Amino acid sequence: MLPWKRVFSPLTALLVTAAAVTVPAASAQAAGAPSSGWNDYSCKPSAAHPRPVVLVHGTLGNSVDNWLGLAPYLKVRGYCVFSLDYGQLEGVPFFHGLGPVEKSAGQLKDFVDQVLATTGAVETDIVGHSQGGMMPRYYLRFLGGAAEVNALVGIAPSNHGTTLSGFTNLLPYFPGAGNLLAKTTPALADQVAGSDFLDRLNAGGDTVPGVRYTVIATKYDEVVTPWRSQYLSGPDVRNVLLQDLCPADLSEHVAIGLFDRITFHEVANALDPARARPTTCASAFD
């Protein structure tokens, strides 16, 4: 069992606090809440939307809280929608996405296999927020996911790590801090810009053939910094800055994933590009 005093040792506590803005305040209550129609394994994909959508939460998130906005938005538009919990640490309830990213990618693979087997679909589409937009790339590259995934949509993804607005640059000044971080909350260490994990993930290019990639970023992101590090390079990539769609949108790292309907509209476009409609400020009312 991992005692709380180890998870929240001084330096780790600072990093967890900085990352905690990815989690809505009601996490403890909402994690057990009904999922409002998604994760319905009787759902069969339609001809209009033949691929189920798998939603992948961010660091310190869970399968319910992260998707109280987007899951119903997609469900009402005719998608079969599923979400998983991953990266759990023993003794740490509600706040997931903290385990090693490589292991989390294996959990995603198992979940996608289950969704495909249950729905009868050949492929799925994945939408992830923060770590949830980056972690599936390990599954695509190393665990055979490219054969099972049509598109990956990352909302403020940590594709090339983060400096947490420069905070991680202080780690070398705290002897043993990096090892402590890796031992207690491995996913945080994996997402520090320049980590060994990210070097392996991005070696040889950001993408794999056969998958369409969309990245939706906000210039007001305070967690995955610098925000341009979220972008991907390679074939079949579309990088989108939220403020290019709506200059008045002030959403930061939390809002872009949790309740920004302009982002949701662009996610729907990425999932169904043949029926895409321009995303503007007015899309907030769509």
Beta-bridge mates of residue 129: 155
Mean of the per-residue pLDDT values for the chain? Answer: 87
pLDDT at res. 184? 82
72 has pLDDT over 70: yes
pLDDT at res. 163? 86
* 3: confidence class by pLDDT, cuts 50, 70, 90: very low
Mean pLDDT of 136-165: 95
Is residue 30 a part of any domain in this protein? no
- Are the C-beta atoms of residues 167 and 14 closer than 8 Å to each other? yes
* 53: confidence class by pLDDT, cuts 50, 70, 90: very high
pLDDT at res. 51? 98
166 has pLDDT over 70: no
12 has pLDDT over 80: no
Is residue 212 a part of any domain in this protein? yes
pLDDT at res. 178? 56
Is residue 135 a part of any domain in this protein? yes
* 6: confidence class by pLDDT, cuts 50, 70, 90: very low
Count of structural domains, the chain? 1
Pick the closest to residue 142 from 167, 176, 108, 172 (CA basis).
108
Is residue 27 a part of any domain in this protein? no
Is residue 85 a part of any domain in this protein? yes
**CATH number of the domain to which 89 belongs:** 3.40.50.1820
Is residue 8 a part of any domain in this protein? no
Is residue 14 a part of any domain in this protein? no
Mean pLDDT of 32-43: 74
Alpha-carbon distance of 141 to 163, in angstroms, equals 24
Residue 88, Ramachandran bin (φ over 0: left; ψ between -120 and 50: alpha; else beta): beta
Is residue 95 a part of any domain in this protein? yes
Domain that holds residue 193: 37-285
